[in-house]
A and B are shown apart, each in its own frame.
Chain A
Amino acid sequence: MMFSTGYPSAQITNLNTGEKWSAEILASEIRCRAAALVNHGVKSDQRVMICHDGGGAFFADLFAIWSIGACAICTNPASTPSELRNLISFAKPSLLITANSRQIDDLTCLHVQSETLGAFDGTDYVLPLSESNLDSDALILFTSGTTGTPKGVVHSFRSLLARVALNQAYIGTGDLQNTLCVLPTHFGHGLIGNCLTPLFAGQHLILANENVGRVAARFGQILDDHQITFVSSVPSFWKLVVKMSPPPQSQSLHRVHVGSAPLFAQQWSQIVDWAQTDRVFNMYGITETANWISAALPDVENYESGDIGYGWGCKVAVKTPDGCVETKGEGELLIQSPALMTRYLQRQELTDQVLKGGWFHTGDIGQIREDGRIFLVGRHKYEINKGGMKVMPEEIDELLERHDSIEEACTFSVPDELAGEMIGVAVTGVSSLDLNISDLKTWCRKYIVSDKVPDHWFQVDVIPKNERGKINRADVAAYCLELKSNKD
């Protein structure tokens, strides 16, 4: 398909490993790996799961999958075996590609290591004509799936191409010249916005997405050394940078995107001062729209928190509390975009809840002003946003309630100065004995990535419920934080 060729000047430098891939190397690696995939029996209507880090090999694997018209599932390399087995059993990929050293038992699909694919001699291999088309499935990103039924956002080749083309049109190729990615590549923000956009514009992608603390401490130096023109990240990363790193000496940065979590006025000013550019954009994007759909370049004098600016090639409306769809006013934000997902994988009911009446229902509460400028004012959902990583509280509840010593769990968001939000949980034990929180954390790490393990634990006698016996997470959070405050 179109991803096997067409980026004649794109290059990848991986600061995590020191490797540099020219466009020629990338094209050759894609070809070897595509041939290897066909040799493993992968066909264009099948799925291949990638579970390794975002170096050159990651992109070669991804583009190889697309070049034979198959669908890629990009997952967190830190996923536990339990999480991977859950995702595989749900998405049924025909092949799993992992890092070179990773061994996982009891998989229900074929497992190969990335290096093996790259070593395949595909020189004289004739790839079969792909039967997929623009509307075939191209990419699945899971926004939940730690426990229970995963939620996989499915994008077609058409929606991805639309997103990348719109990003390039709104950003401009010049700004993308030396793009730095400090984000993981299994999220829409890092993968589509920060990596695919510059690569498909034929520009230089520089990866520094391991050991974030060290990258943040040396960030000014990295910008100078590689003459970085564009970087996108999350507010919590910038808190580390502004605190830990001296600013850059050269003024190479043309553009900065900050997204995936709210950016407040004071922090925006700090980033502007540190980065020595006022082209610091507050971005709004969601996985379902293949990342960015609006951007705000704030007015220096009058920054308003929640300002996400104007839509990027999409139509935005609000659904007012009385159910009307309006182009101005306040309500749930609705989107129409050529970059919209096609569905949630095997979740028709869930898809129908968000794709209705020709609109995607975001779950975010927004306000559209007279001039069309959009402001975020809240959320419908209980999703926890920990430094840009979204966590569904129900998943953590479900996991904890599997533990022998826990009777009931309620997970909620706890405000945090650095991360924006952290994960709190109220738990009741099956007995009156004190729970060993340290042991519980260790147990959790067997099943979920470390980042999702609750940060604040509250053992309570009973989890408060409303008069109908239902849990309101916000009420439980307030109850637990008050208990803590009284204790302190």
Chain B
Amino acid sequence: MLDARNVLADALNMQAEDVPEEASMDDVPEWDSLGHMRVVLLLEEIIGRSLNTEEILSLDSVQSFQHILDESLTVASQVGEGS
């Protein structure tokens, strides 16, 4: 399973240990509007699809990031198994 903190740190040019486990956008100065765009682009690359506006807006914490990551990868693996 991919760890959201590692992916976020990668997108935001940080060390994973500097991203608190319960962090929200407000807690991470690097996660500003441009940082958010980097996060969105990297997440889309990983899950292989575009996020919609509501998903982009809901993506505001490590927890919500992990949720979308897990959900999308689960769906992707189910599609893979079914095909």
Chain A positions near chain B (C-beta within 8 angstroms) = 211-214, 216-218, 236, 239-240, 243-246, 387, 418-419, 437-438, 441, 445, 450-451, 453, 455-456
Contact = CB atoms under 8 A, between A and B. Distances in A.
B4 interface: no
Interface of B: 13-15, 18, 29-30, 32-34, 36-38, 40-41, 53, 56-57
B18 A218 contact: no
Given A244-B53, A455-B13, A213 B36 contact: yes
A455 to B, nearest CB: 6
Nearest to A419: B34
A212 B57 CA distance: 12
Contacts of B34: 236, 240, 387, 418-419
20 contacts: A212-B33, A213-B33, A213-B36, A214-B57, A217-B53, A218-B57, A240-B36, A240-B37, A243-B41, A244-B37, A244-B56, A387-B34, A418-B34, A419-B34, A437-B15, A438-B14, A438-B18, A441-B29, A455-B13, A455-B30
A438 B15 contact: yes
Contacts of A419: 34
Question: Which has the most chain A C-beta neighbours within 10 Å: B30, B53, B57?
Answer: B53
A217 B56 contact: yes
Nearest to B25: A213
A244 B33 CA distance: 11
Contacts, number: 47
Contacts of A445: 29
Contacts of A216: 33
Question: Which of B13, B15, B36, B37 has the most chain A CB atoms closer than 10 A to its own CB?
Answer: B37
A456 B13 contact: yes
Nearest to B57: A217
Contacts of A441: 29
Contacts of B36: 213, 240
A218 B56 CA distance: 10
Nearest to A442: B29
A244 B40 contact: yes
Contacts of A456: 13
Nearest to A216: B33
Contacts of B40: 243-244
A437 B14 CA distance: 9
A240 B32 CA distance: 12
Contacts of B14: 438
Nearest to B41: A243
